[in-house]
């Protein structure tokens, strides 16, 4: 579908050191964005320049940003520029150094040859332990005469597995990991969404990579785009993949009421349990006024609700919205003949409703037959 640079490449060492900071692909146009991000190692938000490379079709392909290699509060570190690259979903790709530049460890030691590809692995690990580490833990210095001091992370009191850091360079790894995987990721997604056309957003909606679906919905909502073709695509994708329900309903709940009600009804009728429950939850919380005839039409589907949870949630919805009409009661009564747990829930619901004489008799017969289980 969309050609995207997702080169999680294991760069050989010379490429890190000699590629240089000005080696761009000539076929791409570079657009610079001034953004503000928070790095957990910095006391104040940082204003940075994020560079976006777009192809001839106007599609963002890659992003890069120049950052400092290490946050050094005591001004005793060797700080060099590092260029970090992401794809158009904000997923980290690689880093580059200026020609001849080298990264430094604790006490003026330099990165070894094998440390550079290891740093690539560390930065590409979105579940790195650096995710939950505070800079104070990195900067806390241990007693170097203590035989049990941490040799992996250098002169810090932080204990890390050797696979998770470059020995003696925990602060550099921490600094660069948060640049590569921090707030900038969401900024890139937002810029990608804003940069593409409506047609390209429609392509995003059907991409196998579900991250594009989320990017598309966010910007379609920002654009107030609820066109028929978009809605049809979203419904089809949501019916196929229940993991997209949260994003879908966040988008739909901000749509015009006519679009919202018609769309969620379609999902309710065609969907499986997860989709039906998502519709009910949304209807419970939506700010739109819900006409009783709309809920009556949904009650026509009660016989197709296959689980106790679906039945119970739907009855809760009717009670909360005070939408208990003669039609609704007629539609619910047949569930008394279904599996007992669902039937029992319907019994207690109907017991509090205004029923016809014939309905009262049916309910009373159910009670007599099941009173020991109610």
Query: Residues 231, 126: one domain?
Result: no
Which DSSP string corresponds to 65-98? EEEES---TTS-S---EEEEEEETTS-EEEEEE-
Write down the pLDDT at residue 6.
37
Query: Residues 177, 239: one domain?
Result: no
Q: What is the pLDDT of residues 327-362, one digit of tens each?
A: 999 999 999 999 999 999 999 999 989 999 999 999
Q: Residue 353: inside a domain, yes or no?
A: no
Helix orientation angle between 210-222 and 184-195, rounded to the nearest 10 degrees: 70
> At which of 157, 185, 213 does a domain end?
185
pLDDT tier for residue 10 given thresholds of 50, 70 and 90: very low
> At which of 185, 207, 232 does a domain end?
185
Query: Residues 68, 174: one domain?
Result: yes
Kindly list the strands in the beta sheet with 29-37, ordered across the sheet, starting from the edge strand earlier in the chain: 29-37, 46-54, 60-68, 81-87, 92-97
Query: Residues 112, 217: one domain?
Result: no
Q: Residue 4: inside a domain, yes or no?
A: no
* CA distance readout (Å), 266 to 252, 275, 321: 13, 10, 20
Whether residue 186 has pLDDT greater than 90? yes
> At which of 332, 349, 368 does a domain end?
332
Q: Residue 131: inside a domain, yes or no?
A: yes
CATH number of the domain bearing residue 255: 1.25.10
Residue 374 has which token pair?
């109610």
Mean pLDDT of 261-286: 97
Write down the pLDDT at residue 137.
82
SS3 358: helix
| Nearest residue to 252 via CA among 224, 284, 289 | 224
Mean pLDDT of 225-251: 98
Q: Residue 34: inside a domain, yes or no?
A: yes
Write down the pLDDT at residue 74.
59
Write down the pLDDT at residue 26.
55
Query: Residues 102, 234: one domain?
Result: no
Query: Residues 203, 168: one domain?
Result: no
How far apart CA 247 and CA 45 sit, in angstroms, is 29
Whether residue 222 has pLDDT greater than 50? yes
Query: Residues 181, 201: one domain?
Result: no
Whether residue 297 has pLDDT greater than 90? yes
How far apart CA 325 and CA 305 sit, in angstroms, is 19
| Nearest residue to 122 via CA among 98, 153, 151, 78 | 153
Write down the pLDDT at residue 48.
96
Average pLDDT of the residues of the chain: 88
Q: How many domains does the chain have?
A: 2
How long, in residues, is the chain? 374
Q: Which domain holds residue 96?
A: 13-185
Write down the pLDDT at residue 63.
98
Q: Residue 341: inside a domain, yes or no?
A: no
Q: Residue 360: inside a domain, yes or no?
A: no
pLDDT tier for residue 215 given thresholds of 50, 70 and 90: very high
High-pLDDT (> 90) share of the chain, %: 74
Query: Residues 20, 152: one domain?
Result: yes
- Greater confidence (164 vs 234) lies with 234
pLDDT tier for residue 19 given thresholds of 50, 70 and 90: very low
Query: Residues 219, 177: one domain?
Result: no
- Greater confidence (74 vs 63) lies with 63
Q: Which residues contact 11 (CB under 8 A, 6 or more apart)?
A: 94, 116, 117, 120
Query: Residues 69, 209: one domain?
Result: no
Q: Residue 8: inside a domain, yes or no?
A: no
Query: Residues 164, 102: one domain?
Result: yes
Q: Residue 300: inside a domain, yes or no?
A: yes
Query: Residues 41, 135: one domain?
Result: yes
Mean pLDDT of 272-281: 97
């Amino acid at each position: 579908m969309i050609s995207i640079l997702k080169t999680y490449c294991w760069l050989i060492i010379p490429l890190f050191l000699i590629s240089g900071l000005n080696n761009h692909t000539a076929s791409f146009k570079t657009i610079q964005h001034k953004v503000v991000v928070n790095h957990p190692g910095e006391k104040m938000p940082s204003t940075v320049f994020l560079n976006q490379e777009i192809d001839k079709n106007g599609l963002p392909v890659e992003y890069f940003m120049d950052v400092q290699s290490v946050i050094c509060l005591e001004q005793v570190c060797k700080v060099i520029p590092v260029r970090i690259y992401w794809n158009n979903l904000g997923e980290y790709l690689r880093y580059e150094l200026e020609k001849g530049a080298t990264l430094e460890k604790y006490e003026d030691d330099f990165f070894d040859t094998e440390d550079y590809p290891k740093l690539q692995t560390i930065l590409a690990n979105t579940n790195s332990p650096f995710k939950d580490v505070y800079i104070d833990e990195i900067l806390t210095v241990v007693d170097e005469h203590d035989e049990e001091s941490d040799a992996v992370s250098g002169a810090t009191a932080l204990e890390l597995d050797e696979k998770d850091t470059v020995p003696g360079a925990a602060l550099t790894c921490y600094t660069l990991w948060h640049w590569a995987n921090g707030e900038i990721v969401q900024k890139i997604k937002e810029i990608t969404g804003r940069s593409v056309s409506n047609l390209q957003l429609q392509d995003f909606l059907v991409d196998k990579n579900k991250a594009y679906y989320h990017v598309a919905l966010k910007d379609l909502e920002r654009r107030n785009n609820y066109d028929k073709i978009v809605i049809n695509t979203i419904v089809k994708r949501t019916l196929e993949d229940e993991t997209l329900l949260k994003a879908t309903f966040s988008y739909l709940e901000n749509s015009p009421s006519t679009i919202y009600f018609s769309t969620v009804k379609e999902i309710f009728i065609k969907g499986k349990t997860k989709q039906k429950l998502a519709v009910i939850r949304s209807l419970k919380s939506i700010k739109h006024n819900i006409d009783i005839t709309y809920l009556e039409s949904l009650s026509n589907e009660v016989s197709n609700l296959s689980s106790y949870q679906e039945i119970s949630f739907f009855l809760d919805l009717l009670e909360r919205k005070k939408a208990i009409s003669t039609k609704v009661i007629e539609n619910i009564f047949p569930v008394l003949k279904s599996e007992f747990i669902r039937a029992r829930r319907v019994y207690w619901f109907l017991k509090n409703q205004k029923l016809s004489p014939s309905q009262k008799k049916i309910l009373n017969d159910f009670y007599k037959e099941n009173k020991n289980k109610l």
